[in-house]
Amino acid sequence: MTFKKTNYYTTVSKAKDLVPGFKEAFSRFEERLVLDQCSKSMFANYGRNLAHLALHFGRVPHAVSVEEINSYLYRLTVHDNLSISFFKQTVFGLRYWFRLFGMEETALLMPVIKDNKTLPVVLSKEECKILFKASRSFKHRFLLAFAYSGGFRLSEIRHLKISDIDVNRKQVHIRLGKGKKDRYVILSNLIAEKLPDYLREVKPKVYLFEGLTEGYVMGERSIQYVINEALKKTDIQKSVSMHTLRHSFATHLLEDGVDIYSIQRLLGHADIRTTIIYLHIAQVVPKNAHSPLDSLYGFRK
């Protein structure tokens, strides 16, 4: 079977129609994901990749041997040259599926996913300004600047409602972010000043950033298109995505002297170790340790 990236719903539906037992098994899988309060993106990625595997073998995943799965993963990675992200999502999905069907030992036999300690790409402050200026419309400039201003995730930007912005308190309410948690993020003074102009010119109805249909969220691909088109008009050679703006936000805050714990809270990281990675990127001038007694009485040199 030749592997092709296709629409999630088409792939899953095809597997339900063509693979014996997949429809019933997938219903059980879907139910478990809902009960575990897994994200929509996890459900889509796991479901699509598991359906591809089922279509390839003509069997439900738990009826495929470990050897066959390893060969399948090898072919997709080496010969079909799929991304490491697709490989990881397939392995994670298989582990989840096997545990669901009481096959813990098989789940443990899945390939180990190595945690590569690569540092994220970060734009300089000047590069951020160049990128925002390069955007072709006021809406696009405002979108990129807004994403950077609060270190928002792509999903958070898409689902942000106009009513979630409190100009008076300078806060943005992120509802059910990663981990199903709410949090408040600072609202930039510049964004607060430009917001009335944006609302008047763009006229969004419900969500701050809407697609072509009024009242509906802007698509992920459309948002990524915005940053890609802006990049083409600059000399920036870095590999940049919307998430790069989030990395840049955190790094620049560190360089501005904001403490790591405040940045953790703003980013919505559950574990401080996730935030600490920015310490390896930020260009922070070290300060010599001193006794607070000297500061207290003005004896610091």
- Look up residue 286 and give its two tokens: 């070290």
Q: Clarify whether 173 is annotated catalytic.
A: no
Cα(146)–Cα(189) distance, integer angstroms = 11
Q: Which of 153, 159, 247, 252 is the catalytic position?
A: 153
Q: Which residue has the tokens 């969500």?
A: 207
Which of 46, 198, 207, 278 is an active site residue?
A: 278
pLDDT of 3 reads 42
What's CA 246's distance to the chain center, in Å?
10
Whether the full predicted model's pTM is greater than 0.75, yes or no, is: no
Burial class (CB in 10 A: 0-12, 13-18, 19+), 22: buried
Residue 269 annotated as catalytic:
yes
The active-site residue, picked from 52, 141, 246, 247, is: 246
Q: Which of 23, 139, 170, 178 is catalytic?
A: 178
Please tell me the predicted confidence (pLDDT) of residue 161.
95
State the DSSP string of 39-102.
-HHHHHHHHHHHHHHHHHHTS-GGGS-HHHHHHHHHIIIIIS---HHHHHHHHHHHHHHHHHTT
Selecting among 32, 183, 243, 265, the annotated active-site residue is 243
174: DSSP letter: E
CB atoms within 10 A of CB 289: 5
pLDDT along the chain (301 residues), means of 10: 51 93 94 84 88 94 93 84 81 93 90 76 94 93 95 92 95 79 90 95 95 90 93 93 93 90 89 83 70 67 58
Whole-number pLDDT of residue 6? 46
Continuous H helices in the chain: 8-18, 22-35, 40-57, 66-74, 84-100, 104-108, 125-134, 138-150, 154-158, 189-202, 220-232, 242-255, 260-267, 272-276, 292-296
The pLDDT assigned to 300 comes to: 62
Q: What's 5's DSSP letter?
A: -
Identify whether 178 is a catalytic site residue. yes
- Mark whether 243 is an active-site residue: yes
Q: How far is CA 193 from the centre of its chain?
A: 28
Q: Which two tokens mark 40?
A: 């929509």
Is 153 part of the annotated catalytic residue set?
yes
